[in-house]
Amino acid sequence: MRSFQVIKLNAAGAVKVDRYLRTSLPNVFAAGDCAEHYVRQLGRNGYMPLGPVANKQGRLAGSNIVNNGAMKMFPGIDQTAAFKFFDLTVATTGLNERQLQEGGTDCVKIFVDSPTRGAFSGGGTMRVLLICEKGSGLLLGGQMVGQAVVAKRLDVLATAIYKQMTVFELAKLDLSYATLYAPVWDPLLVAANLAIKKV
């Protein structure tokens, strides 16, 4: 009688993979929405089924299948995502408050409400949440919600988190200003300066 091996799934129902995207079955790889995703900041797999992750994992799985003598590890994700909710854009990167509570991390949280543009240029309003580690100021996560394109502004924070920057370094970034695109103090810099006072 033929016997079947069952592929291992995680609690979310995603296929368990190692850093090379190998599943529990020999010579079977998984990538994209069906698979787990390594979360750098957690140092373990999570599940965040999104387009960029699926593309990167798919590319790597294909490469590892044909180069199995020199497989590369999936570098992981920082949980960056954006979506539209009626006229609002919502964007997130890094660890969220629930994950930080679960990890028992002592952190500083800053909320900033800001216009999305400079004076007399229309635009809307936005709110920034910036989270950093108490003491070191290491950037841990952030979220933005607003009536304009906040997603690309959040990508600055995603880059800073990837490079393991602190709020002290974030506050020194030379971000662009023109009244049509941003207030003279970028909301992210305002949040960083406020965080420095609490770190």
Ligand X SMILES: Cc1cc2nc3c(=O)[nH]c(=O)nc-3n(C[C@H](O)[C@H](O)[C@H](O)COP(=O)(O)OP(=O)(O)OC[C@H]3O[C@@H](n4cnc5c(N)ncnc54)[C@H](O)[C@@H]3O)c2cc1C
Q: What is the dihedral of CA 47, 77, 99, 175, to 10 degrees?
A: -140
CB 159 within 8 A of CB 123: no
Q: If binding is defined by CB under 6 A, does position 28 make contact with ligand X?
A: no
Q: If binding is defined by CB under 6 A, does position 52 make contact with ligand X?
A: yes
Q: If binding is defined by CB under 6 A, does position 155 make contact with ligand X?
A: no
Among positions 50, 149, 196, 199, the unique one binding ligand X when judged by CB under 6 A: 50
Backbone region of residue 48 per phi and psi (left: phi > 0; alpha: psi in -120 to 50; beta: other values): beta
Span from 43-51, 71-79, 114-122, 185-193 in contact with ligand X (CB under 6 A): 43-51
Q: How deeply is 24 buried, as exposed, middle or buried, from its count of CB atoms within 10 A (0-12, 13-18, 19+)?
A: middle
Q: How deeply is 52 buried, as exposed, middle or buried, from its count of CB atoms within 10 A (0-12, 13-18, 19+)?
A: exposed
CB of 138 to ligand X, least distance (A): 26
Question: d(Cα 159, Cα 45) in Å, to the nearest integer?
Answer: 20
CB of 58 to ligand X, least distance (A): 6
Q: Tell me whether residue 82 or residue 196 sits nearer to ligand X (CB atom).
A: 82
CB of 34 to ligand X, least distance (A): 6
Q: Tell me whether residue 84 or residue 163 sits nearer to ligand X (CB atom).
A: 84
Q: If binding is defined by CB under 6 A, does position 51 make contact with ligand X?
A: yes
Residues at the contact surface with ligand X, assessed by CB under 6 A: 32-33, 49-52, 54
